[in-house]
Chain A
Amino acid sequence: MEAGCSRRLRRNRAPRRSCGQKEFAPDGSAEQDERLRLCLEEQWRQLAEERVERPENLVKAVWKPEQGIVELESPAGKFWHTMGFSERGKQCLLPEEALYLLECGSLQLFYKDVPMSVQEAYEILLSQEAMSLLHYQVFSHLKQLGYIVLRFNPSTVLSSCERQLNLESRCKSSGKHHHKRRRSSSPGSREKKHKVSEDLPKAEGTCEKGGHDCGELSCVPLDEKPLSEQLKELDTGNGEEQSVTSNSVPLDTGRKNVPGPSWSLGTGDQKASSTGTHAPRWDFTTIFLPNVAPDQPCIHLPSPDNKLLPENVPGREVDAASWCRRVNQKQEKLLQKEREQQEKESKYKSSINFDREVRCCINWQEYKALLRWRSQQRVWRQPPHLWGQAVTPLLQPEEATSFAAVRQQISVLQPSHILDGASRLQEDLESIKIDFNVYQADAVAKFKKTNPGKPYVRMCVQSFDEQVPSLRALKQVTYQSGDVPVVFALADHGEIAFYSLKEFKLPVDANY
């Protein structure tokens, strides 16, 4: 960049990658070769272009290797809104910020009074541990897309308690290089945190957020909802409902349905239940209720007992034959479909009333008792190779009353949440480091460097050849990040890909 160069403010435009149809394979033709040659030439030409900037527009900055930062000599431009920090009265930039601005053409970087070329800057500024080439590539990629990218500082992460107590405003997270760990909560409140966490019962793991729960009952897992309900919710609520994911505690965590108090009288004796606690007035064994159904017509109705009637109401015996004739005793005419269904079913089903023993039951209680007795006498023998051993099947056949009950019997595996046990892993210093806090581009206007607030996402920069983090590392990182999602940025020779591994609880499909 020469002083006094003619003013040709060229916008930086990357060479067009594609010119027309993609060439998949060489076909040996001269046209193809020509097209490729032109494309390459265009690229070289663009790369060879000189970048021109007004020297007056450039901010002068000096590289300070001892501190590993860049000091500005002239006032900062618009970038100061989202980048840079102040130290000892001077405006400074982090190496990656300086390099990025240099590449953008907003900065002129000097070292020992000599301006640095971009290549030199790459070599020199990125030689530190905190900021390697990989990190810088991610930084640059995100900045170009408009995100605000700041370095991650563990002390600025609020625990769930602090968040609850709305301590964000008090926590001054200006320090990119605030190396002191500042805990904005007073020691007193911290004690309270621990105490609260001890009091909480060792309940479902989904509740545990890094060990201190602070009585935050909002994270008690919701009752299971059948999948169909969830789907309905999703359909109506455009997928934003978080309740869908935080449910699905299996029924075997010991929560049995307590029967309602109004029904827990004895064994459900019907005489008692209908009238509460005092003695029954009616003796149903002596009261005769005639059955006038068409299959067992009882036409001759005797006179009712006078004791059962109100005072001025006489009773008399009746011959109900005439009435029965008037009652609609026509056979129900079924639709074709219904008839077919009935025919189909008659092959497999038989009316329960044909069962002599069932007919002997006069109320539900007896019928249930009969069923229970029968199930114990079942013809299926318990095969000894399954039931006579040390390990028996999980499902007791008599407990298979419904498919939901079956499912309950077989649910023996416990769920686990990503943050379970994560707090005890924090002593491990070998964990993956979070590198950046990323804030959304739309938030630029309201962005305050001194108080950036909660980031949109936090980035961990990884290399493509590295192993995917183990569950342990994942837990550590997730815990470290608080309630901000973590994304892994993989840089591969300039191409960046982003992946996240998110906590998930498969909902229970209870459609039966």
Chain B
Amino acid sequence: MAEAAFRPPRRKRRVFECYQAPFPVGAGGGDFRMCRADMVNNSVVVRSPEDVERLYNKGYFGKGILSRSRPVYSISDPSLVSKWQGTNLNMPIITSKKYQQRVQWAKSALQEQGFDSCSVTKILENYTRPLEFPFLEKENTELSRQSSIDTGNMVTSSPEPQKEVCQKASAEGDLATDPVVALGTEEQQPAVVKEAAQASCQKHGSHVHCGCKAKGGPEQESCNVAKSRERAPEYVLVQEEEEGSLCLEEGSAHEQEKFVKKEKLVCRRNPFRIFEYLQLSLEEAFFLVYALGCLTVYYGEEPLTILKLWEIFSEVKPSFKTTYMAYHYFRSKGWVPKVGLKYGTDLLLYRKGPPFYHASYSVIAELVDDNFEGSLRRPLSWMSLSGLNRTTVNASKELMLCYLIKPSDMTEEEMATPECLKRIKVQELIVTRWVSSRERSEQDDL
């Protein structure tokens, strides 16, 4: 009986990142930090920018909700950034049109909150007035850390729990106090931002769902806490045309002047911020909580225990236990498993992380009993297996079947706790296609 040969993972040609650590726990016990995640609508979301960065950089957990994988959402327009390379301000640069779009959104959001159009205009005009650069410099020094996190390739996120807005009542309650307070103070408590956040969460329909229960009291508190945490508005540079740049020049051709438009950058506040969070899959979240103990998942303000999480996740996803066992196994071998949805399987295994190597294996996990049989999540016929194998091989990966063998005397009770992992055995199999024709190049197929 031959065993499948191990093929070394293929390194990516261009690697832009530095490898930091395999897990967000410091070796030597020094660097411990408890990250916080929230259960929002049956998914696990991390909001704090520091936590997001830590979890993603050390182990590649999660996915930014507005990005392809690494949370790098920025409102900035890259072409404009390169165009205005000379100006050395660390602020995102956007077009005037885009800015106006946001103003419109903020306007409609305010209107939905019940403000009459007069006050809406007033609020917005004030909020979006151009700011002088020296003013900014002053602000910058105290908010430099904040803005440097906001801009560039970092994550922008707000720790405000956004589900508070599901209840109109609480939202309006907040607003009643907010504009008055906000417009009065110099700090410019960004009421517009706050409600912009509220509006944006309405935009993120899938993300914040009115189905989730909102607790009035604790959320009110938490929102106040959040407000104090995130006070700084987002400053953006808007590329606008200079006034008077369109004036006719004597003697010049009529068409030419249309192209002679001087542009400048105007600093304004973004009235409609969009925050990017890190979404963790259920398996990733559970691993961070159970295996490493470096994450706490909150439901509202209540931290969930490991047993409770196991129960909740199993309810949300019926096959959670199976996929989690496989996930845990591969993590404990030092590989980075990510979701395998794109290839029709459960997991993709990366060495070190997606930025460094192409995924080596595409894994299907199945739970079987002591007799090595079980009701399969994906009963495969040879036809579907060959199709799956074909697509996997075309992507230069290998198809792996991961069987999780549980002893037959394992009770339901035992399965209700993650301690059952200790009795599970793992069998990996690699599916390969054997080419019978004589001209096959690899003699070591078997």
Contacts and interface: CB of A to CB of B under 8 A. Distances in A.
B382 A485 contact: no
The range of chain B's interface size is 35 or more
A502 B434 contact: no
Contacts of B386: 464, 490, 497, 499
A98 interface: no
20 contacts: A145-B436, A146-B438, A245-B5, A392-B306, A400-B26, A400-B27, A410-B332, A413-B328, A415-B427, A416-B403, A420-B427, A467-B379, A471-B366, A497-B433, A499-B432, A502-B429, A502-B430, A504-B428, A506-B330, A506-B361
Given A400-B28, A470-B376, A501-B430, 14 more contacts: A391-B417, A391-B419, A395-B292, A401-B27, A410-B292, A410-B328, A414-B425, A416-B427, A441-B438, A485-B2, A502-B430, A503-B4, A503-B427, A506-B349
A345 to B, nearest CB: 14
Contacts of A464: 381-383, 386
Nearest to B307: A391
Contact of A386 (B4, B306, B310, B368): B306
B432 A411 contact: no
A398 B431 CA distance: 41
A227 interface: yes
Q: Which of A145, A413, A465, A467 has the most CB of B within 10 A?
A: A413
B446 interface: yes
A413 B29 contact: no
Interface of B: 1-8, 21-23, 25-29, 32-34, 289-293, 296, 303-307, 310, 325, 328-335, 349, 351-352, 361, 366, 368, 370-373, 376, 379-383, 385-386, 389, 400-401, 403-405, 417-419, 421-438, 444, 446
Top 7 A-B pairs, shortest CB-CB distance? A393-B293, A509-B334, A472-B372, A498-B434, A416-B425, A502-B4, A471-B372
Contact-residue bracket for chain A = 35 or more
A378 B290 contact: no
Contacts, number: 273
Given A395-B25, A403-B21, A506 B428 contact: yes
Given A383-B34, A499-B389, A244 B1 contact: no
Contacts of B380: 467-468
A145 B382 contact: no
Interface in A380-424: 380, 383, 385-387, 389-395, 397-398, 400-403, 405-407, 410-421
B25 A500 contact: no
A394 B428 contact: no
Contacts of B427: 415-418, 420, 471, 503
Nearest to B7: A239
Contacts of B29: 375, 378, 397-398, 400-401
Nearest to A250: B332
Given A141-B436, A413-B425, A502-B430, A486 B1 contact: yes
A490 B292 contact: no
A332 interface: no
A416 B27 contact: no
Given A413-B332, A483-B1, A503-B429, A397 B293 contact: yes
Interface string A469-512: 01110110010011111111010000011111111111111111
A411 B305 CA distance: 21
Contact of A500 (B370, B379, B446): B446
A456 B445 CA distance: 11
A503 B430 CA distance: 7
